[in-house]
């Protein structure tokens, strides 16, 4: 039994914060942000919208696209580092709000790689016939752990949620190969400070790690799946920085229009960035049946994950 994606969904807050808006908050400029990151604007959730709310909206969208009821779910996995509370988990809150059965529900903490960790975890349960339909959500409210006086980080991040229903698909479709990894020695470069609760990032070191790991993992999963770089139809990288994304695209040798680039509109939404980009490009028709996709991300931990996926049921 092959595990694939039966439906996708996403949600982004209505509140748009442009680079010009950021100029009024910290000493920065629209040109500086755009040329170094590719970001033009980001979405920030209102105070009365928390992580579980965004997860719910994205999940409902994914269930609708999959033509599935919440009662058909066998497991719920939520990738996030910004839960409403340490416990109960966002997954348990989501289970209750969706009206799902009392199935297994847990949060996954792998920062920006979280959605990849979630998808690959779901794959194991499905391909061993333990479960049939699993909801995987990547969601973050990074605005609540962002230091809005730190111009090096506050311009980068945004809020949002993306979701996918993972289930059995026909032979030759679905997740063909994957790679997961972590290097705990790099944790000091990207973490949440215990005293301030704010996110800290050593941008230079994280950049160096990402421009090496993202292209390498992308090529690895294509080769593991038995394909060549030329066979890749579409790349969905973690939407952190356009220069890092371009490094992966160039390593695969695919055209610019074959790479998701939602970073300019949403900034870095951590674990939500890949599923948001995936959902948008499925709905817009950029991703078509039988396309060979590469999904690849990196994040705090330091962690990384990549998937080669044949789209379709």
pLDDT tens digits along 181-230: 999 999 999 999 999 999 999 999 999 999 999 999 999 999 999 999 99
Res 123 pLDDT > 90: yes
Q: Is residue 1 very low, low, confident or very high in pLDDT (cuts 50, 70, 90)?
A: confident
- What is the structure's pLDDT at 89? 98
Tally the C-alpha atoms within 13 A of residue 179's C-alpha that lie toward its C-beta. 24
Res 233 pLDDT > 90: yes
- Quote the tokens at residue 293: 């996709």
Annotated catalytic residues are: 112, 238, 268
pLDDT tens digits along 35-91: 999 999 999 999 999 999 999 999 999 999 999 999 999 999 999 999 999 999 999
pLDDT tens digits along 130-163: 999 999 999 999 999 999 999 999 999 999 999 9
How open is the CA angle 298-116-205, to the nearest 5 degrees? Answer: 5
Q: Averaged over 258-279, what is the pLDDT?
A: 98
- What is the structure's pLDDT at 186? 98
Q: What is the pTM of this model?
A: 0.97
pLDDT tens digits along 289-313: 999 999 999 999 999 999 999 999 9
Q: Is residue 9 very low, low, confident or very high in pLDDT (cuts 50, 70, 90)?
A: very high
- What is the structure's pLDDT at 54? 98
Residue 239 has φ and ψ, to the nearest 5°, of -90, 75
Q: Is residue 264 very low, low, confident or very high in pLDDT (cuts 50, 70, 90)?
A: very high
């Amino acid at each position: 039994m092959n595990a694939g994606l039966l439906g996708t969904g996403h949600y982004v807050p209505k509140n748009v914060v442009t680079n010009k808006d950021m100029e009024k908050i910290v000493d920065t400029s629209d040109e500086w942000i755009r040329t170094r990151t590719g970001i033009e604007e980001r979405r920030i959730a209102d105070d009365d919208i928390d992580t579980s709310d965004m997860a719910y909206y994205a999940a409902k969208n994914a269930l609708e696209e999959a033509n599935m009821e919440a009662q058909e779910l066998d497991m719920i996995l939520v990738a996030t580092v910004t839960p409403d509370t340490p416990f109960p988990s966002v997954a348990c809150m989501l289970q209750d709000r969706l009206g799902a059965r009392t199935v297994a529900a847990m949060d996954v903490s792998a920062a920006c790689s979280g959605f990849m960790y979630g998808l690959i975890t779901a794959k194991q349960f499905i391909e061993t016939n333990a479960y049939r339909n699993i909801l995987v959500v990547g969601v973050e409210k990074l605005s609540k752990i962002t230091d809005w006086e730190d111009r090096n980080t506050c311009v980068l991040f945004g809020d949002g949620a993306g979701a996918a229903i993972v289930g059995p698909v026909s032979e030759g479709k679905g997740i063909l190969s994957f790679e997961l990894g972590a290097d705990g020695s790099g944790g000091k470069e990207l973490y949440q400070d215990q005293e301030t609760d704010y996110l800290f990032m050593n941008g230079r070191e994280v950049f160096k790690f990402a421009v090496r790991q993202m292209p390498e993992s992308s090529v690895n999963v294509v080769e593991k799946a038995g394909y060549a770089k030329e066979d890749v139809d579409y790349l969905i990288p973690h939407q952190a920085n356009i220069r890092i994304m371009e490094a992966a695209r160039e390593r695969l040798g695919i055209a610019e229009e074959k790479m998701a680039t939602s970073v300019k509109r949403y900034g870095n939404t951590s674990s939500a960035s890949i599923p948001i980009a995936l959902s948008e490009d499925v709905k817009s028709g950029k991703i078509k049946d039988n396309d060979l996709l590469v999904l690849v991300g990196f994040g705090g931990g330091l962690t990384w994950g990549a998937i080669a996926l044949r789209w379709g049921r």
